[in-house]
Amino acid sequence: MSQQPTSNAANTAGVVSTNFIRNLIEADLAAGKHAARKWSGRPGPGPQQLAGTLDPARIRTRFPPEPNGYLHFGHAKSICLNFGLAQEYGGRCHLRFDDTNPEKEEQEYVDSIIDSVRWLGFSWEGPLADASAASETNLYYASDYFAWMIEFAEYLISSGHAYVDSQSADEMRASRGTLTNAGCDSPFRARSVAENMDLFKRMQQGEFPDGAHVLRARIDMAAANINLRDPAIYRIRHASHHNTGDRWCVYPMYTYAHPIEDALENISHSICTLEFADQRPFYDWLLERLAEGGLLQRPLPQQIEFSRLNLSYIVLSKRKLIQLVEERHVAGWDDPRLPTLVGARRRGYPAEGFRLFAERVGVSRSDSLIDYSLLEDSMREVLNASAERRVAVLDPLKLIIDNYPAGDSEDCFAPKHPLKPEAGTRAMPFARELWIEREDFMAEPSKGYHRLYPGNMARLRYAYVVRCTGFDRDDSGAVVAVHCDYLADSKSGSAGADSYKVKGNLHWLSVADACLAEVRLYDRLFAVPSPGARREGDPEGSERDFRADLNPDSMRVIRAWVEPALRNVEPEQCFQFERHGYFVADRVDSRVGAPVFNRTVTLRDSWSARPGQRK
C-alpha cells in the first residue's frame, strides 16, 4: 500500500522559516558589523588576525561538541542550525572539538562525531566565493589552543584579573554563597601578581597534586549572577590527553576555554542552548578583558542562546544514555532504539529527515516538549518520496491456488515507485503456492471484513482475483493453509481486470521464490511521553526511575519472507514494505544472501491509538 504524501519533502525542506537568530544575523549584515574583520586563514590571537586580509566569510558559526560521547538527536538540531545558517548567509561553520577534559575524551568519539556530521550532509570544508579561502579545513581542536590559553591566563594574572586559590573544593563551594546570599572572598584573593604568577607556572610544571590549587578569575564575589563570583578557569589534572598526550598537567575549564576558542576562530555568532545563558556575562567579561589587552580583535563573538530539543518518549541526558548502554537495556550506542545519530542511521532515519525536522521545529527561546510523532512524520515524508516499494510477508500463511497448474509460474509486474513512473517496474514471480499475511484470512469473518474467507473474492495485488474455496487446520485447530481458485481473465493490467469489482487487496509472495529474512520490528524505547516524570499519586518531591518506563515491546525479531530481489540487498538500502512501513537493510548485520531488515517507521502514526499505552 503506497502512502500518499501530504506535501513534497524536497519543497518543504526548501521553505525557510524566519526566527530570531536569522533576524539578528540579517541585522548584523545590514549594519556591516563584521565587515572589517581580518582573517589569516587559520585560528590565532588578535595580532595574527589583524595581519591577515578581510575575512571572506560573511559570518562564522561553529558546532563545538565535547568528544566524550556519541551525538544524539539534540545535536542534530544544533548541527542543522549552525551549518545551515553558514550556508544560507555565505559563511563558514567550523567543526571544533572542545577537548578540555582529558579524563573523559577518546578518539573513538572524535571519529564518530566527524562521521555523523558528514552523514547529516554538512561539510566544514565547503567552498567560498573567495578562492583565497579554498584551503580552509575548519576542523579544529580546543587542545590546539592550550598554549594561547596559558598566555591569556598569565595576562589576566599580570593585569590583576586572576589569582591562584589554594582552598579545597569544599571550602570554595561554601564561600561561593547562594542565589540569595553573596559569597565571601577567598583568603588567597589578595595574593600579589608575582606570587600568583609563580604558583601558576609551578602548577604548569607539575609540582602540585590534583586539587592543590586552581586559577580563578577575579571579578565580584557579591555579583547577583553566581557565575561571576570568581569562577575557576584552570585546574590541575595529571592526565594523558587524546590529542596532546602528557604535554600538559593543567587544563582550562570549559567556561574559560570556550569563549577564547570562539575568538581565536573569528566566530561571529556563537549559538548555544539556553542552559548557557547564565554563563554569557562571564563569556563577555573574559573576551572584553583580553581585547583590552590587545590579545583579541574586535568585534568580539556574540553568544546567542536558543531552546534545546526536548522530544517525548526519549531521554537525551548523557548520563541516562550511558546508563542504558552500560546496563544493556540496549545493544550498544548504535542500537536503533537509542536516540543517538549512529542509532538513527542504523534504524534507517534519513539525514534529509533530520534536516526537514530541524526546519519544522524551528528556533525559539522557550522550552517546549515536541511530540516524537513530528520527527517520525518528517522521516516518513522523506522516505515516501525516496524509498522504492517492495513486498514482505511478516506473518505468513500459505495460499494454494488449486486450479493453477502445478509447476507453472509467470511474472507479474509492480511499480518500483508509484510516484516515479520513470523508475520502471519490477517482476514478481507468481505460482500455485503463495505466502499471504495471516490476518488476510478469517474462517469466520467479522462484520466489514473484505479479505479472504470461504466464498469471498479478493484481488492478489498486481496479479489475479481469487475466490476462497476452503482451508486446512492442523491438530491444534490452527489454520495452516487456505485454498482458492483464480480467475484467469482477471490479471492486473489485462483487458478483463476491470470487470471484477472486489474490495479486498492482498499482498503475496511466491513460496518457491521468496527470500527468508530476519526482520527487526523496532518501536519507541519508552512507553510514556516523559520517562521518569513524577505521576499522579507519587509522593511529593519523589523521583521516578526512568528505566521503569522502558517499553518492553520496543523490539521484536521475526523471520519473514521478502521479494527474491532483496536477497542481494546492500546494507543501508531503504524500502517501503508495502502495507507494513519503511525498512532498511541493517548496516552492521545484513549480508548479501542473508538480509536483515530494521523497521524504520510505520506508514502512519498509530502509537496514540494503541490500547493500554500509558499516558
Tell me whether strands 508-510 and 433-437 are parallel, antiparallel or unpaired.
antiparallel
Q: Assess whether 171 carries a catalytic annotation.
A: no
Bridge partner residues of 401 (DSSP): 484
447 is catalytic: no
- Which backbone phi and psi does 235 adopt, to 5 degrees? -135, 160
Strands 479-486 and 555-562: unpaired
Q: Which of 318, 534, 604, 610 is catalytic?
A: 318
What are residue 522's DSSP bridge partners?
Answer: 555
Backbone angles phi, psi at 93, to 5 degrees: -115, 125
Please spell the DSSP secondary structure of 179-205, one letter per residue.
SSS-----TTTT--HHHHHHHHHHHHT
Inter-residue contact 531 to 546 (CB < 8 Å): yes
Sorted by sequence, the CB contacts under 8 Å of residue 483 that are 6+ apart come out as 400, 402, 468, 469, 470, 471, 472
Integer Cα distance of 245 and 242 in angstroms: 6
Assigned C-alpha cell, 349: 532515519
Cβ(497)–Cβ(460) under 8 Å?
A: no
Residue 606 burial (CB count, 10 A): 8
Whether the CB-CB separation of 106 and 68 falls below 8 Å is answered with yes
From the list 308, 416, 467, 547, the catalytic residue is: 308
Q: Known catalytic residue: 318?
A: yes
Phi/psi region, residue 230 (left: phi>0; alpha: psi -120 to 50; beta: rest), is: left
Grid cell, residue 115, equals 562521521
Extended strands (E) in 292-444: 302-306, 388-390, 392-393, 396-401, 409-415, 425-431, 433-437
Task: Show the cell assigned to 577.
Answer: 514494505
Residue 306 contacts by C-beta under 8 Å, 6 or more apart in sequence?
Answer: 21, 81, 271, 272, 273, 274, 363, 364, 365
DSSP code per residue over 422-468 = GG-EEEEEEESEEEEEGGGB-SSPPTT--SB-TT-EEEETTS-EEEE
Are the beta carbons of 571 and 586 closer than 8 angstroms?
A: yes
Catalytic residue among 66, 106, 388, 518: 66
- Catalytic site residues? 66, 308, 318
